Amino acid sequence: MHDPTPIDIVYLWVDGNDPAWRRKRRAAAAQPGLCQHRAIGAHGNGEGRFRDNDELRYSLRALDRFYPAHCRINLVTDAQTPAWLQPSDRRTVIDHSSLIPPASLPTFDSGHIES
């Protein structure tokens, strides 16, 4: 039996091509010990981890088409918003800094952000 209860959806997203974000990431990576501890996981600093191939755009379209009963969509990001994203009362953009203690920022590790 299908459960019609709508659920909230959470996406993590970053524009790895954003020059300001890239400077922030490079500065964090240059700090001694930071990569191994809180900001960038040992295997989490590869370029491919931050590449934007428009997956978010296509995923949101698919979500609306194939699961229109969803509730809120929460987009968790690092002071960024996709330029193409239209305002919606069912969608909220949430900055890392509102979820993560300042002493643990910056962070570029999705595992930390998800926690």
The one-digit pLDDT tens for each residue of the chain (115 residues) are: 566 667 899 999 998 889 998 898 888 877 766 555 444 555 555 665 677 778 999 999 999 899 888 889 999 999 999 999 999 998 999 998 999 999 888 888 777 788 8
pLDDT at 59 (0 to 100)? 94
Please state, in angstroms and rounded to a whole number, the distance separating the CA atoms of residues 108 and 24: 10
Q: Would you list the DSSP string of 42-109? A: TT---GGGG---SHHHHHHHHHHHH-TT---EEEEESS---TTPPP-TTEEEEEGGGTS-GGG-S---
Look at residue 49 in the predicted model and tell me its pLDDT. 65
> Do residues 96 and 76 touch, judged by C-beta distance below 8 A?
yes
Evaluate if pTM is beyond 0.75: yes
- Single out the residue of 76, 65, 90, 84 nearest to residue 8, CA to CA: 90
For 91, phi then psi, to 5°, come to -135, 135
| pLDDT at residue number 92 | 93
Residue 39 is predicted with a pLDDT of 46
Domain ranges across the chain: 9-114
In this prediction, residue 4 carries a pLDDT of 64
CA distance 84 to 73: 16
